[in-house]
Amino acid sequence: MKPLLRSRFAPTLLLVMGLLSGQANCWAQPPRQKLIVAMHEPVTQRLADASKAFDGASFDLEWAILPGSAAQITALYAKAIDVAYIGDTAIDFEAANSSRDWNTEGAQLVNFASWQWDYLLPGLVTAVRTDRNIQDAKDLKGKTWAFNFGGTPYALYVASLVKAGLTPKDIKPAQMTDAYVASSAFVRGDVDVLSDDYYSIRDLVEAGKAKVMWTSQEVGVPNLAVLVARPQTLVDKHDAIADLLVRFGRYHKWYLDNPQAAQAIIASTLKLSPERAAYYWASNRWQYVSINDESLAAQQKVADLFYSAGALKKKINVRALWTNQFSASTVVQP
């Protein structure tokens, strides 16, 4: 009987053991994580795909195209994306406008990586149309001034007002949804003044129809790009984000080493001439910037300037808005 009993129950035992083994493997391998990363334009995704820097990543990467910092910040709060790509002062305004004290109760959004652009020409500028009789700062009073809220162009707008000795009450603020809408309004002549990207109005300047009043550097705005996330995302997806930064560095190395291939993708995606694509490529070279005492001191100086000018509703400590826990991942690895 014993051999018969063994033969009768052997298949069942094997099935149970197999199921338990499968469960053990499931327990040993956590589900693969996904990162949804927002960009302002579609060309970064196509360049990244061409570089193959994200092949074999430890996470699944999904790109979201959301023009404008305000749209990306809204998506972060809604948990529709994991990572936003915006200007370095954007969440200063979020912290100052929040009913919570981000310094004592914890930041709702955190900058975890930053980089500096290698501009051939001025990056962000405050410019005026030459047909509006604006010769110096005092002539800006009463003019219609375009900007978009939530990113570095807004910081430039505020800092330019401070430099001019003006407040929003002295002008006609024209808040736009994003940089493209703002620059288009300026090119059409719908507004008198613009605080935004120089590239989008370059033709107008070169034709003598506009002139630059100040660059972002001249009004004290660092103009860094940053990657931002919710604090809990940095905890829950820490390893995936660390891998993301490493691969961003590898992607950009490919970008620098393959200018012709990159410019061809830029031209076809953004419908640019070869000359414009070459300029776009050159102006979008960057390098990671360390998040340290020196860089945070510069950020605090800007925040204090905005507070003194009345642009921030309350004084903030920018250290609560930054983390350098991913610094090791911003060293480019071959």
Taking residues 267-295, what's their average pLDDT?
92
Q: What superfamily does domain 34-117+223-328 belong to in CATH?
A: Periplasmic binding protein-like II (3.40.190.10)
Taking residues 305-328, what's their average pLDDT?
91
pLDDT of residue 27: 53
pLDDT of residue 312: 87
CA distance linking residue 201 with residue 217, whole number of Å? 18
Using pLDDT thresholds of 50, 70 and 90, give the confidence band for residue 220: confident
Q: Is the pLDDT of residue 208 over 50?
A: yes
Percent of the chain at pLDDT exceeding 70: 89
Using pLDDT thresholds of 50, 70 and 90, give the confidence band for residue 117: confident
CB 118 within 8 A of CB 225: no
Using pLDDT thresholds of 50, 70 and 90, give the confidence band for residue 217: confident
Tell me the three state secondary structure of residue 7: helix
What's the DSSP call for residue 83?
B
pLDDT of residue 179: 81
CA distance linking residue 51 with residue 301, whole number of Å? 38
For strands 60-65 and 84-87, give the pairing: unpaired
| Average pLDDT taken over every residue of the chain | 88
35-91 pLDDT, tens digit per residue, is: 999 999 999 999 999 999 999 999 999 999 998 888 999 999 999 999 999 988 889
- For residue 318, give the nearest of 110, 73, 87 by alpha carbon: 110
Percent of the chain at pLDDT exceeding 90: 67
pLDDT of residue 16: 46
CB 83 within 8 A of CB 36: yes
What's the DSSP call for residue 63?
E
Nearby residues of 186 by Cβ (< 8 Å), 6 or more positions away: 127, 129, 146, 193, 194, 196, 201, 204, 210
Q: Which residue has the higher pLDDT, 332 or 310?
A: 310
pLDDT of residue 214: 96
Taking residues 319-323, what's their average pLDDT?
96
Taking residues 127-153, what's their average pLDDT?
91
**Domain range annotation of the chain:** 34-117+223-328, 124-215
pLDDT of residue 87: 87
Secondary structure (DSSP) of 151-180: SHHHHHHHHHHHHHT--GGGSEEEEESSHH
179-192 pLDDT, tens digit per residue, is: 889 999 999 999 99
Fold of 124-215: D-Maltodextrin-Binding Protein; domain 2 (3.40.190)
293-304 pLDDT, tens digit per residue, is: 999 998 998 899
**pTM higher than 0.85 for the full model?**
no
pLDDT of residue 5: 38
